[in-house]
Every structure is written in structure tokens, then in C-alpha cells.
Amino acid sequence: MYKILATSALSVLPTAAVLMALGINCGRANVGDQDIQESQEPEAAVPATGSADLTLTILFDNYAHTPGLQTGWGFSCLVRGTEKTVLFDTGADGRILLANMRKLKLDPGQVDTVVLSHVHWDHVGGLPEFLDANSHVTVYLPRSFPEDFITEVERSGAQVVKVDQPVEVCRNVYTTGEMGTAIIEQSLVIETQQGLVVITGCAHPGIVNIARRAHELRQKPLYLVLGGFHLKDYSASEIEQVIRELKQLQVRVAAPSHCSGNLARSLFQESFGEHYMAVGVGKTIVIEDAFAHRANG
């Protein structure tokens, strides 16, 4: 099962954003989608380092969770406990990303691998500042990314892996490969003993399609689907259809955030009950004994 950790008593940093001038994004939701304070989860102990737990921490999100961290339109999630420490997406603003990491006492230097879901600024905007802090990383990005973007990443000194087909990032960690037509996107798949953990940026290719691709890829049950589900402009009946299809795929835990929208979050909560997870920036999810052997030796 998962544990939910909360960090408390953090002070608020000034919000300032210089957004990457890509001029494209996932479609900003209503202002009401921002800065939503959720109730604190009970605190739990941090697991001993070197265990075979999987730890996911939301570093950037428009939904709030941990007081004192900055929200911003976008998404980023840190994956620890796997062979490589993986940063999935970077949010819109590297200063917010790095400030949130500092508050959470997470060192950018510990990241080995960056996986970018798609080229929208609210997912890649934080990359330049992150690379200023740590360029000793391998960046997995969709092959369809603009050439000048890729050149910029390489200029930082980072290694680039251009992804089209599904690929193994490190032991137990995969990307779905490029999906979609209009907006090309890849998602992260982590194989745990409990089942597959799927992390999406915006889910432009469709959250159901992504979940199905993950299942086809690894032939394991779907344990947790987390991230942007891109349902913010969907009607209740359309969202309910998505929920039905995810349940047919036997998704056990759903954690819609970022561009999922408030209506989807409430309908998922109704439907998944105790298997719904309200996530936002600072939320840490620990899946205990996720791996049979210690990932980091």
C-alpha cells in the first residue's frame, strides 16, 4: 500500500515566473483551478534510505498540497527508489521547481535522468534552470521535439535520448514511447510488485489510451495512474466514461492532477473512494516494497 507524507511549517517564497517563450501550453484552466488548498494528510515516517520502496514527490503542480511550496501551472514529479533517480517533467518555471526542491530538501544533483513528456512550456519550461543546477543527466525526450530545443539541451552538456518507440530508462522504468497525433507525448511507466505506476504529463493522447499502452507494454495490472489527465474541458458524462474505461482496465488507484480539472477530480474521488488520491505540489507517495531487490544496491 502507499503512504502519504506531508511536509509542514514551510514558509512561502515570492512567486515570480519567467516562462519559457515557447508560446504553447496545455490550455490553462480557470483561475479557480489554482492555489486550491487541500487538507493536510496525517504525517508518516520517511522510509529508511536504501530500501526497496518507490517514492514519488510532486515538485510542481497548479494544485497545492504542502503549505509553503509554490504552485504554478504545470507538472513535475520526482521518482526515487529506482535504479536511477528520475525527474519527470520540469513544470513551467525552473525557479519555482528549484525553490520547491530546496524546501523539500531534495538535491537537484541527485537526479540522474530527466524524462520530458511533451514540448508544452508548462512541462519543459523549468528545464534550463534545472540544467544550470545539474547538467550531468540524461534527458529522454520525444524524437519529434524541435531540433533547436534538442540542440539547447545538448549544449548544456546533458546527454539526449530521442524516444519514439517504448524504451527502458533504467531497471523497472520505461516510457510509453511517442503517442498521439496532434500533440505527441510520452508517459512514464514504473513496474512495481504491486503493479504498474503510470505517470502522465498532460495525457493529450488520452488517459485511457496511455493506461492501455502501459498495460500492453508490461502485461501487469495497473496499480496507480498519476498526473495530468487533461479532462478539464470534459463534461461530467464524458469524464464518467473515462472513469468506466479506466476501471475496465482495472486501475486501482487514481491521482488526477494538473490539467485534470476540478470536476474530474471530484468525480474520480466519488468513484474511486479510498483509492482516489488528492495530489498537489509537495505530495509524497511511498509505495513500500515496490521492488524485490534493493534498486540502489
Positions that interact with Zn ion (CB under 5 A): 26, 120, 122, 202, 259
Please name the helix (run of DSSP H) or strand (run of DSSP E) that holds residue 169, with its range, or none: strand 167-170
Cell representation of residue 45:
515516517
| Residues 83, 170 contacting (CB under 8 angstroms) | yes
Listed in sequence order, the residues at least 6 apart from 146 whose beta carbon sits closer than 8 Å to its beta carbon are: 119
Shortest CB 201 distance to Zn ion, Å? 6
- CA-based radius of gyration for the chain: 17
3-state SS class at 123:
helix
165 burial via Cβ count (<10 Å: 0-12, 13-18, 19+): exposed
Distance CA 163, CA 152 (A): 17
**Nearest residue to Zn ion, using CB?**
26
Place of cell 489510451: 209
Nearer to Zn ion, 1 or 182 (CB): 182
Shortest CB 204 distance to Zn ion, Å? 6
Nearer to Zn ion, 259 or 290 (CB): 259
- Nearest in space to 200 (alpha carbons), one of 180, 212, 215, 185: 185
Nearer to Zn ion, 122 or 129 (CB): 122
Shortest CB 228 distance to Zn ion, Å? 5
Between CA 257 and CA 90, with CA 189 as vertex, the angle to 5 degrees is 50
Shortest CB 227 distance to Zn ion, Å? 9
Shortest CB 76 distance to Zn ion, Å? 10
Give the type of residue at 20: M
Distance CA 183, CA 174 (A): 20
Shortest CB 26 distance to Zn ion, Å? 3
Nearer to Zn ion, 119 or 285 (CB): 119
Cell representation of residue 66:
504542502
Q: Let me know how long the chain is.
A: 297
Nearer to Zn ion, 123 or 218 (CB): 123
Nearer to Zn ion, 54 or 255 (CB): 255
Nearer to Zn ion, 26 or 222 (CB): 26
3-state SS class at 138:
strand
Shortest CB 229 distance to Zn ion, Å? 11
